[in-house]
Amino acid sequence: MFDMLLQGAGLVASLSTLALVGAGLIIGLLVGALPGLGPLMGIILLLPYAITFPPVQAMGFLIAIYVGGSCGGAISAILLRIPGTPLAAATLFDGYPMAQNGRAADAIGIAISASALGGAFGGLILILFSPSLAAFAAGFGPPEYALLAITGLTAIAAVSDQSMLKGLIAGTAGLLLATAGTDEFTAAERFTFGLFELSDGFNIVAIVVGLFAISEMSNLLTGDDLLERPNLAIARPGFRTVMLVLTRWPNLLRSSTIGACVGALPGAGGVISSFTAYAVAKTFAKSEERYGEGAEGGIVASESANNATAGGALVPTLALGIPGDAATAVLIGVLLILGIFPGPTLFAQHSDIVGGIFLVYMLANIALFVVGILMTPLFVYVLRLRKVVLIPTVLLMCAIGTYAVGSSVFDLWVMFAFGLVGLVLRAGGYPLAPMVIGVILGPLLENNVRRTLLLSHDGLRIFVERPVSATLLFINVALLLCVAFFTLRRLFAERQSALVEEKA
Amino acid sequence: MTSSLVIGRRFAEWCSIAFMLVLVALVFEQIHDVLGPAGMAEGGPYDNAAAYPRGVALVLLGLVALQVIVQFVARRPENEDGLRLHQLTRPAVVIALFGLYLALLGVLGFHLASAPMLFAIMVACGSRQWWQMIVFSLAISFGMAWFFESQLDVVLPGGIFNLNIPW
């Protein structure tokens, strides 16, 4: 592990890497603070720029956006009572009352300090556990990998905040979309409809930008506040706020642990972890701490948890090549574009890059504290930006960014089409992240399923004959049963409430 | 009268299901018409390029069938959430403008198409501060062009006039 970090230090110790991490943090905090954007959108929009750099610098830039974006939402939650990202929804409970009581600067300072400390804790988990997980996974064969890919997908569907069945449908549709292009085994072109541009399959950037960015912009357009400029006072937090967080170290440690553990589960993202940590902190709180009315501990819990989630989510991403959430799915996409394949082979063949990624993650969290505290007035100023300016700018960035990846106008139409698909799916209550993760995991799943069948001479018993694959199969079956159980329970509850309403 | 029409969740759910079914249908149509005649739809796991997509499509079909059952069985309150038709007008106009921009991008080129697109979207969003909008449109489109062309060496579409600025 220390060798890995030492090798990585060589790649990180340059002015350009530090500048990129700093720039990524500022952008991340900005996109996090602006309602409607968020860390995923920041990563998507800046991806064409990032892929022009070597892997560690590119990942440093994007991870810094991820880290900054996970924290930035707290600023708008505290000042505007609108969480910039869903990750900051739990921060709103105590952050906004604190601001109303004239302690906006303290609330923002606590949010930034807790985010930085929680994120650093997530980084420690990443550094300590991902090499062991990768070493364990190095013994995996095609059956294990095939089932691992399915586990990633079912886990993501199982924790979808909307319907689990819809999550599974979206994920399976993503797997199907990934089959377009040239078949790796036979070199036959599939589902290309004679279009040369589809011979390499759909451009992942076009899919992600379309699904998330275009549909999100359309969503913003349904609001009536496009021309409004929020009237905000500038808040200037101080470095002493870190002491307010450190005095609540049991809460900080507990919430960060929850965040990192939840993050490591594929699909369970920062929203789940921040609400869980908040609920646990409230349970453990002393009676004089009035949660929901401006308790500092509430902000510490939600913010440390959601930033620790980022570190946790990177564990399966790097060690297994299984994304923890939509943002890490895009990070996997970036690594693939740069010719790096995440998973155990990455740890064996490119330990310097892994070490570099560990270090840039830690660096981003340390810098988050300094940059966040010093530049809060700038972020508050940007919060005054009107949506009428934001929406066309983001749309132009979507177009130019997607075009820049492959210099292809065809990709722009793919983006546009997936934007429409994203709109319909979002309106229908389908989560979009499983679809992206399905597209990312599709080739991994197909290659390993077919290799497994080659190994077993076309029989399926191989999946239950090997201990690890049998365990993974059991987990998958359990997850699918969970999906079935919760779908039926929700259905039953909906029917009951509808019947009660009808009777009333 | 039309402004009171509500586009509800249920309608969007059926549209989503239609999309999934189209996806499945396309897979089977391609396997039948393209991969089958080319000899790619049979044989062992190595030769059969159609087996995996067919399997995934069948799983998707099964899941969609379950979702259809869920939708039929589920009872929804009469006053379910939805968007009124007039709320969708602005997104529809902006998406149409964005689609038009993409269509014109190859013909007019980035520099001629982008600033009018930004301006038109701001008008569609309700802004009427004409001079601010003109300055903003030009500044953003040229600013981004400078960044991508001079900093990232991306050659943006020049259109029929071959308009590319040597920054």
ipTM of the assembly? 0.92
Band of the pLDDT at A326, cuts 50, 70, 90? confident
Binned at pLDDT 50, 70 and 90, residue A160 comes out as low
Task: Determine, for residues A48 and B46 on separate chains, whether the beta-carbon distance falls below 8 Å.
Answer: no
Instruction: Show contacts of A401-404: CB within 8 Å, 24+ apart.
Output: A401/A44, A401/A45, A401/A46, A401/A47, A401/A48, A401/A49, A401/A205, A401/A209, A402/A48, A402/A203, A402/A205, A402/A206, A402/A209, A403/B154, A403/B156, A403/B157, A404/A48, A404/A49, A404/B148, A404/B152, A404/B154
Q: Convert A161-183 into a string of H (helix), E (strand) and C (coil).
A: CCCHHHHHHHHHHHHHHCCCEEC
pLDDT grade for B1, boundaries at 50, 70 and 90: very low
Specify the 3-state DSSP secondary structure of B165.
coil
Q: Give B88's contacts in chain A (Cβ within 8 Å).
A: 222
CB contact under 8 A, A395 and B121: yes
For B83-121, the pLDDT digits (tens) are: 677 778 899 999 999 999 999 998 999 999 999 999 999
Nearest residue of chain A to residue B9 (CA atoms):
A428
Q: Taking a C-beta distance cutoff of 8 angstroms, is the pair A271, A86 a contact?
A: yes
Q: Residue A394: its chain B contacts at CB < 8 A?
A: none
What pLDDT is stored for residue A267 in this prediction? 65
Reported confidence tier of residue A73, pLDDT bands at 50, 70, 90 = confident
CA distance A404 to chain B (A): 6
The whole-chain average pLDDT of chain A stands at 88
Distance in angstroms (rounded) separating the CA atoms of residues A156 and A200: 26
pLDDT at B7: 67
Q: Using the beta-carbon criterion (under 8 Å), do B121 and A173 form an inter-chain contact?
A: no
8 A C-beta contact, residue A237 and residue A112: yes
Q: A164-189 pLDDT, tens per residue?
A: 889 899 999 999 999 999 998 988 89
Range with the poorest average pLDDT among A97-106, A301-310, B12-21: A97-106
**Which of A49, A189, A222, A396 to probe by mutation at the B interface, max B CB count within 10 Å?**
A396
High-pLDDT (> 90) share of chain B, %: 58
pLDDT-based confidence at residue A253 (cuts at 50, 70, 90):
very high
Residue A378 has pLDDT above 90, yes or no: no
Selected residues 380-399 of chain A with any CB under 8 Å from a CB in chain B: 387-389, 391-393, 395-397, 399
Note which residues in 104-123 of chain B have CB less than 8 A from chain A.
105-106, 110, 114, 117-118, 121-122
Contacts of A363 (CB under 8 A, 6+ apart): A12, A18, A21, A60
Give Cβ neighbours of residue A323 (< 8 Å, ≥ 6 apart): A152, A266, A313, A316, A317, A329, A331, A332, A437, A440, A441
Task: Report the residue of chain B nearest A413, measured CA to CA.
Answer: B102
- B19, B35, B99 ranked by CB distance to A424: nearest: B19
- The residue in chain A having the minimum alpha-carbon distance to the alpha carbon of residue B34 is A190
Instruction: Name the strand (E) or helix (H) holding B44.
Output: none
- A317: Cβ–Cβ under 8 A, 6 or more apart, which residues? A323, A324, A328, A331, A332, A342
Average pLDDT over residues A356-375: 93
Residues of chain A with pLDDT > 90, as a percent, come to 39
- Say if the Cβ atoms of B60 and A173 lie within 8 Å: yes
Residue B2 has pLDDT above 50, yes or no: no
Using CB atoms, pick whichever of A163, A173, A450 lies closest to residue B20: A173
Instruction: Give B49→chain A minimum CA distance, Å.
Output: 6
Which residue matches tokens 């990934």?
A178
pLDDT tens figures, B32-46: 999 989 888 888 888
- Indicate if the pLDDT at residue A21 is higher than 90: yes
The 3 state secondary structure assigned to A395-419 is HHHHHHHHHHHHCCHHHHHHHHHHH
Give contacts of B58 with chain A, Cβ < 8 Å: none
What proportion of chain A, given as a percentage, has pLDDT over 70? Answer: 99
pLDDT at position B143? 94
Residues 6+ apart with CB under 8 A from A502: none
Lowest mean pLDDT among A468-472, B1-5, B85-89: B1-5
CA–CA separation, B162 vs B106, rounded Å? 10
Q: Which residues between 458 and 497 in chain A have a beta carbon less than 8 angstroms from any beta carbon of chain B?
A: 458, 487, 491, 494-495, 497
Give the pLDDT of residue A457: 84
Put simply, the answer to whether A190 touches B50 (Cβ < 8 Å) is yes
CA Rg value for chain B: 24
Best probe of the B interface among A27, A46, A176, by most B CBs < 10 A, is: A176
Whether residue A353 has pLDDT greater than 80: yes
More confident site: A222 or A498: A222
Report A:174-233 residues touching B (Cβ under 8 A): 175-177, 179, 183, 185-186, 188, 190-191, 193, 214, 217-219, 221-222, 226-227
DSSP for residue B8: E
Tell me phi and psi for residue A201, to 5 degrees. Answer: 85, -175
Residue B134: closest CA among chain A residues belongs to which residue? A389
What is the torsional sign of CA A199, A202, A204, A205?
positive
If pLDDT is split at 50, 70 and 90, which confidence band does B79 have?
low
How close, in Å, is residue A469 to chain B by CA atoms?
19
Shortest distance between the Cα of A223 and any Cα of chain B, in A, equals 8
**Token code pair at residue A65:** 């956006």
Looking at residue B3, its pLDDT comes to 46
Tokens linked to B136: 């903003």
Q: State whether B60 and A190 contact (CB < 8 Å).
A: no
Residue of A nearest to B88 (CA): A222
For residue B94, list chain A residues with Cβ-Cβ distance below 8 A.
Answer: 217-218, 221, 391, 395
